[in-house]
Chains A and B, each alone.
Chain A
């Protein structure tokens, strides 16, 4: 089945380290998203990309950067990790030829910054 995958699934790192989270999809979707999930705060959008040449900031982009290497790959980087970036990170994709529609989420990456 076509799917959205994320690597790594779990990561523990130290303050100041550079971290990259990777997302791949076999759904053939153009649109990809990165969210972080914190208890009581829901899913907050970090960055999104509507095609390979399009990158947009979400509501909480400070401290993060992204790269859209291909239609199927969208990576999230923390240039210098800090403890308050400890969270569950989700990648998602959607195919919106005519308008808003379902987003398909990856399994998540649990990141701990010590």
Chain B
């Protein structure tokens, strides 16, 4: 089945610095790559996603890049703020008859220091 590896497991930055989280996936049929943010004690929520016909997507301070040849995608957060502190999960979808099923990475704990 699909395997998604996420790095780093923890990331500590100063306010206004940039943060980058990277994921690799194994299924060449995957074509949907979402990122979820989970604040402490809350449910995961989608913050941005990208499909395989696009190489980069931006939404204000957040961007995601995709390299299908290398099978990796990354989340970039610029001008980080303390409220960005959370656990971030990447995911990729399955192909074939399980199309739409997501496999998640292990998560990255991001801490933004004021």
Residues of A within 8 A of B (CB): 31, 33, 35, 40-45, 48, 50, 56, 58-59, 90, 94, 96, 99-103, 105-108
Contacts and interface: CB of A to CB of B under 8 A. Distances in A.
B43 A90 contact: yes
22 contacts: A40-B107, A42-B89, A42-B104, A42-B105, A43-B44, A43-B89, A43-B104, A44-B104, A48-B101, A50-B100, A56-B101, A96-B100, A99-B31, A99-B100, A100-B93, A102-B46, A103-B34, A103-B46, A103-B102, A105-B44, A106-B43, A107-B42
B49 to A, nearest CB: 7
A59 B98 CA distance: 12
Interface string B1-24: 100001001000000000000000
A102 B1 CA distance: 21
A41 B106 contact: yes
B26 interface: no
B101 A107 contact: no
Contacts of A90: 43-44
Contacts of B106: 40-42
B100 A105 contact: no
Nearest to A90: B43
Contact of B100 (A31, A40, A44, A107): A31
A22 B11 CA distance: 35
Indicate the size class of the contact surface on chain B.
20 to 34
A44 B105 CA distance: 9
Given A40-B9, A40-B106, A45 B44 contact: no
Contacts of B99: 96, 99-100
A102 B95 CA distance: 16
B17 to A, nearest CB: 24
Contacts of A99: 31-32, 99-100
A94 B100 contact: yes
B78 interface: no
Nearest to B106: A42
A65 to B, nearest CB: 19
